[in-house]
Structure 1
Amino acid sequence: MKILVTGGLGMIGAHTARALADLGREVVVTGHRRTEVPSFLDGRVTVETLDVTDRDAFLALGARHDIGDIVHLAGTIPGEDPVGFFRTDTAGLLNALDAARAWGVRRFAVASSVGVYIGRSEIPWHEELALPTADLPHLIIAFKKAVEPLTTHSLAGSGVQPVVLRIGTIWGPVIDPESPFFPIPRYISAVLRGEEPKPLYADDGGDCCYAPDAGRAISLLMTTETLRHNTYNVSSGRPFTFREFADALRLDALPGRQGGPGEDPYLDITRLVEDTGFAPAFDVAAAVADYLAWRAENAR
């Protein structure tokens, strides 16, 4: 049986596919607008070009591959039309759920976000917290918050186990070097161009996880025999500070915090660790060293 990873040529999808291949699983990845296969996946996975909003094309994958599990990570970046964004990503999700039910897969994992906890003051954020009604800073977070009940209700009674992935702040090989969602890739890219990056405040930080670790966590959630829960935080399980990144790059950081005293939230991964045995392999220094080595030969 194969594992399907939609959006498998994006950052999190590619590292998930690599981790699954490392575990000896047969992996099918889909790509649409992005078609370049990262070198670490070359020859190790089957690549299908697929617009996940095309229901017939999505379901046709089941005639070509014996798919036993689905990791749905495909998504888009919002443009000027919020309704168009929601329509596109909802259609992709519903088609993936249709496929999960039609093929009778064992597990269906779907990307949610650390952002669903916005509004909770408890730190760290853990899965037992009720999700509050709150003003959300981005359309993607709003969609991810809706993904959770759409997925669990769609699979109720189907025999397919939903696995909601509340994914933290992930960075690493294949990320957009100028990502607007996390300052570290832009910071490192400036260094690689020989520029002085805009200084970061040393004590700012919060949740952070290197992409190979995140991919391995998701792979374990797909391959562990028994999962006791349907929702898991996916991250490193420890807070970081920008001082750690500056130190790894031998740069200076501004003292203190930009917004004054306080504490930045991060994800508790106790549930992930207890059910899968996951442990991060990268601290900040090791992640920076690995990423610099990757960028020496790759544009992103």
Structure 2
Amino acid sequence: MRILVTGGAGFIGSHLTDAFLARGDEVAVLDDLSSGRLTRLDPRVAAHRASVADPGALAAVVARVRPQLICHLAAQIDVRASVADPAGDAQTNVIGTINVLEAARVAGARVLFASTGGALYGKDAVIPSDEDQRPEPEAPYGTAKYCAEQYIGLSNRLHGTTHSVLRLGNVYGPRQDPAGEAGVVAIFCGKAMREERPVIYGDGTQTRDYVYVGDVATAFLAAADSSIAGVWNIGTGVETSILTLADVIGQVTGRSIEPEFGPARPGELRRSALDVARVAGQLGWKAATSLSEGVASTFAWVRDGGPDR
């Protein structure tokens, strides 16, 4: 299969390109390199520097690659940045997705869209949250992702396509940029290695669904091999508190983790976990990496200096 991965030089995208290459697919990457790095990519990957927010440049790359599948991971992912600049967030996450859908329509390609599970369902959601839970995002980032999902559904109704949505939990693992809430595993592993005290914002009882990046890659492969249009949560179904995460990191690394506590971040979601029954039933996918195994892999990567490959 010929595959184009937008945002493919990023943390998740580079793992996904590796997974497709490993099974013999032909992979190209489109990335504006605002946060992605070409050194994360296998030399066999054809890389094109362009933004999904630039419809002309995007269309030119798609015409050159002629993909059968586009995995759309390019995004503005910083929740705090979305609050500071909601229009800029929407330009990338909404208009960029519309541009991808139009380029895919012209090329006759199917789209798999990386959405969010953690920032979508809201503070009053039933835990674990299934895909039928009414989205009530707390920030422009989640709102933009949900809006993009609506355009994907519209494309399926309007053009008879089978584009699909993967709502990701809190993804972690090697190559993760240790900045912001989404990078808490890498941040805490770095603190453990340097024997520094990590900062927990709030009381540490807030929960997330931490899913290992290698498992996310296999979820995309399963969706790529399916012919159905779906919306699937990609997580573990397990609710893990920040305090529990710190304990696991301490056990895995053999380092004493004694966190400092700072004020809770305004608007931070208290609880989040994803119901993964639908993806198990429809795609036969289930996360295979335990939190301790994933933390061990991440810590080994941090200990080795955080190599891109």
Do the structures match in fold with TM over 0.5?
A: yes
What's the offset of the Cα at 1:291?
A: 1.1
Give the aligned partner of residue 289 of structure 2: 282
What's the offset of the Cα at 1:151?
A: 1.7
**Aligned to 2:107, which of 103, 106, 112?**
103
2:97 aligned with 1:93, yes or no?
Answer: yes
**Cα distance in 2 between the residues matched to 1:169 and 1:193:** 24
Could you say if the C-alpha distance between residues 24 and 144 of structure 1 is closer, same or farther in structure 2, counting changes exceeding 3 Å?
same
CA contact (8 A) 1:71 1:110 kept: yes
Give the aligned partner of residue 64 of structure 1: 64
**Cα distance in 2 between the residues matched to 1:155 and 1:49:** 28
Could you say if the C-alpha distance between residues 199 and 265 of structure 1 is closer, same or farther in structure 2, counting changes exceeding 3 Å?
closer
**Cα distance in 1 between the residues matched to 2:53 and 2:208:** 34
**Cα distance in 2 between the residues matched to 1:177 and 1:89:** 22
SS in 2 for 1:67: coil
**Cα distance in 1 between the residues matched to 2:88 and 2:286:** 39
**Cα distance in 2 between the residues matched to 1:67 and 1:181:** 30
CA contact (8 A) 1:178 1:189 kept: no
> TM-score scaled to structure 1, two decimals?
0.85
Could you say if the C-alpha distance between residues 180 and 127 of structure 1 is closer, same or farther in structure 2, counting changes exceeding 3 Å?
closer
Give the aligned partner of residue 160 of structure 2: 159
Give per-residue Cα distances to partners, 1:79-117, cap 9 Å, x unaligned.
643223322333311110111111111x21112211211
Give the aligned partner of residue 11 of structure 1: 11
What's the offset of the Cα at 1:178?
A: 2.8
CA contact (8 A) 2:176 2:183 kept: no
Give per-residue Cα distances to partners, 1:207-250, cap 9 Å, x unaligned.
110111112211211123x33x5200011233334233333233
Give the aligned partner of residue 177 of structure 1: 178
CA contact (8 A) 2:169 2:210 kept: yes
**Cα distance in 2 between the residues matched to 1:110 and 1:120:** 25
Once the two structures are superposed, the pairs formed by residues 134-283 of structure 1 within 5 Å of their partners are 134=136, 136-198=137-199, 204-224=206-226, 226-227=227-228, 229-240=229-240, 241-242=244-245, 243-250=247-254, 251-252=256-257, 264-283=271-290
Give the aligned partner of residue 267 of structure 2: none
CA contact (8 A) 1:101 1:155 kept: no
SS in 2 for 1:52: coil
**Cα distance in 2 between the residues matched to 1:138 and 1:217:** 26
Amino acid across the alignment from 1:108:
V
**Cα distance in 1 between the residues matched to 2:272 and 2:56:** 42
What's the offset of the Cα at 1:204?
A: 4.7
CA contact (8 A) 1:248 1:284 kept: no
Question: What is the aligned-residue identity percentage?
Answer: 28
**Cα distance in 2 between the residues matched to 1:74 and 1:57:** 14
SS in 2 for 1:116: coil
CA contact (8 A) 1:20 1:216 kept: no
Count of equivalent residues: 287
**Cα distance in 2 between the residues matched to 1:247 and 1:83:** 43
**Cα distance in 2 between the residues matched to 1:268 and 1:197:** 30
Could you say if the C-alpha distance between residues 57 and 178 of structure 1 is closer, same or farther in structure 2, counting changes exceeding 3 Å?
closer
> TM-score scaled to structure 2, two decimals?
0.83
Long gaps (5+) in structure 1: none
Long gaps (5+) in structure 2: 265-269
**Cα distance in 2 between the residues matched to 1:267 and 1:297:** 32
